[in-house]
Amino acid sequence: MTQTQTTPTKQPSWFSRLAHPGVYLSWSAHLVVPLIVLTIVTFGIGLWYAFFNSPPDYQMGETVRIMYIHVPNAWLSQMVYAIMAVSAVGSLVWRHPLADVSMKAAAPLGAAFTAVALFTGALWGRPTWGTFWEWDGRMTSTLILFLMYIGLVALWSTFNDQSKGARTIAVFTLVGAINIPIIKFSVDWWNTLHQPSIISTEGLSMPASIATPLLVMMLAFTLLFFTLHMVAMRSEILRRRANNLERRHIAQQMEAKQ
């Protein structure tokens, strides 16, 4: 291999310096513990508000407290997909390894948050609407979103070469991102066609006593996501390094045998 001449490269921007996987590992290491503490404190405040410092709803009674878990998870189910779509753009346009890692780490988290949203929705629906499940537009599109997350997680597990898989998965993530609004619209259309809307989740006039715990809980769950996402990204980077080391080790052993 001939010595390639060193071209005067321009200084990388602050963003690409921070996004280098190795540099990311070092600066995120300082953030993990503060994030965990912040998440726990916010959850503490939020749960205290939700359970002890907010009134029961005049119609739903105590079951209104399910909302403080349900709504944040429903919100995250969509935010996580948006983060995956942004990472997919980063992965396709700049071929950035950190974007791949972010995309991969977000998929199971999104699936989990969506599952919790669906589950708590069913628990909430039983006492208030009298049924665990209804083919309501919003529930149906959340269920479809859940299926898409599961498909993505399954797709990641089928690729042996994760960096090659990332570009392919990014394509699918973006196709899904274009389709999600269309699916949502079509499901709403289908729902109004099949059944007159008997259930209205609208019109929850929200006094401050309910809005405060809800907003704190949403913040807490969002922090929880960012904490888990960061930890998952760190372990994914380390896992890839460990795999590379293992491969190199095996190669060296093979060489020694010959």
Interface residues with another protein (CB under 8 A) are 92, 144, 147-148, 150-151, 154-155, 158-159, 164, 167-169, 171-172, 174-176, 178-179, 182-183, 185-187, 189-190, 193
Q: Are 93 and 170 in contact (CB under 8 A)?
A: no
Q: Is the dihedral of CA 222, 226, 229, 231 positive or negative?
A: negative
Q: Which two tokens stand for residue 79?
A: 């935010």
- For another protein, the closer of residues 66 and 187 by Cβ is 187
In the numeric block, which tokens belong to residue 34? 């503060």
CB-wise, 144 or 199, nearer to another protein?
A: 144
Residue 169, both tokens:
């998965």
DSSP notation for 141-179: HHHHHHHHHHHHHHHHHH-SSHHHHHHHHHHHHHHHHHH
One-letter identity of residue 63: T
Q: Could you give the 3-state DSSP secondary structure of residue 246?
A: helix
Cα angle: 196, vertex 201, 203; to 5 degrees: 110
CB 173 within 8 A of CB 152: yes
CB of 220 to another protein, least distance (A): 30
Q: How far is the CB of 191 from another protein (least distance, A)?
A: 9
* Residue 78 or 222 with smaller CB distance to another protein: 78
- By beta-carbon proximity to another protein, the closer residue of 175 and 242 is 175
CB 117, min distance to another protein, A: 17
| Interatomic CA distance for residues 220 and 143, integer angstroms | 24
| Closer residue to another protein in complex, CB, 63/162 | 162
Q: How far is the CB of 159 from another protein (least distance, A)?
A: 7
CB of 147 to another protein, least distance (A): 5
Please state the closest distance from residue 118 (CB atom) to another protein, in A.
Answer: 15
Nearest to another protein of 165, 215 (CB atom): 165
